[in-house]
């Protein structure tokens, strides 16, 4: 009856971290999509809008960097948000290569309402966990995502 090795290393496929992370992410995306549907935006678009709320509006490349996505991907995301009237692009007067991206008034309104809905989605996603476990999950993921990978120099 050796179900799992005692050291936390899983031989059962459904206990492998790769499996767990992938399926947790799929579930989160699913809950997010369902919750955000009434506002006409995706989870990725909400994340982009969230990045535009700092004190000074970022360039497209800065926004892309903060989300860890490619600048070519950002173009398409902003195209969609601009078509919906939620963000606007203006050439930066100080560096005319750059586009400064800002939320429109409609964008700020949508962000407020969709942001609240997204927090509700996180609550639903975390429902099976105690508040302490939920907080530690967030902290652990944060620590892992921001770790510097061994074997990567640069």
Residues at the interface with a copy of itself (CB under 8 A): 8-11, 13-25, 27-32, 34, 43, 47, 50-51, 66-68, 115, 118-119, 122-129, 131, 133-138, 140-145, 147, 149-151
| Residue 104 CB neighbours (<10 A) | 15
Q: How far apart are CA 153 and CA 87, in angstroms?
A: 37
- Partner interacting with residue 42 (select from a copy of itself, DNA, none; CB below 5-8 Å by kind): DNA
Q: Min. distance of Cβ 13 from DNA in angstroms?
A: 14
118 binds DNA (CB under 7 A): no
- Partner interacting with residue 59 (select from a copy of itself, DNA, none; CB below 5-8 Å by kind): DNA
45 within 8 A of 77, measured Cβ to Cβ:
yes
Please report, as residue ranges, which positions from 71 to 110 form the binding site for DNA (by CB under 7 A): 71-76, 78-79, 89, 95-99
| Residue 145 φ then ψ, to 5° | -65, -30
Q: Min. distance of Cβ 91 from a copy of itself in angstroms?
A: 25
Nearest of 91, 93, 99, 104 to residue 71 by alpha carbon = 99
Which residues are within 8 A (CB) of 76 and not within 5 positions of it... i.e. 6 or more apart?
A: none
Task: Give me 142's structure tokens.
Answer: 């944060």
68 within 8 A of 74, measured Cβ to Cβ:
no
Q: Min. distance of Cβ 5 from DNA in angstroms?
A: 26
**Where on the chain is the footprint of DNA (CB under 7 A)?**
22, 42, 44, 59-61, 64, 69-76, 78-79, 89, 95-99
């Amino acid at each position: 009856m050796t179900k799992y090795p005692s050291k936390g290393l899983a031989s059962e496929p459904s206990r492998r971290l790769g499996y767990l992370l992938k399926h947790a992410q799929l579930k989160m995306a699913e809950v997010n999509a369902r919750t955000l549907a009434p506002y006409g935006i995706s989870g990725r678009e909400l994340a982009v809008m969230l990045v535009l709320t700092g004190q000074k509006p970022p360039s497209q490349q800065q926004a892309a960097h903060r989300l860890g996505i490619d600048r070519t991907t950002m173009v398409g995301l902003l195209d969609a948000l601009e078509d919906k009237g939620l963000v606007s692009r203006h050439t930066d007067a100080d560096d005319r290569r750059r586009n400064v991206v800002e939320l429109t008034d409609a964008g700020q309104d949508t962000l407020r309402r969709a942001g609240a809905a997204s927090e509700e989605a996180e609550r639903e996603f975390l429902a099976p966990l105690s508040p302490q476990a939920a907080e530690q999950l967030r902290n652990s993921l944060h620590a892992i995502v921001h770790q510097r990978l061994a074997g990567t120099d640069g």
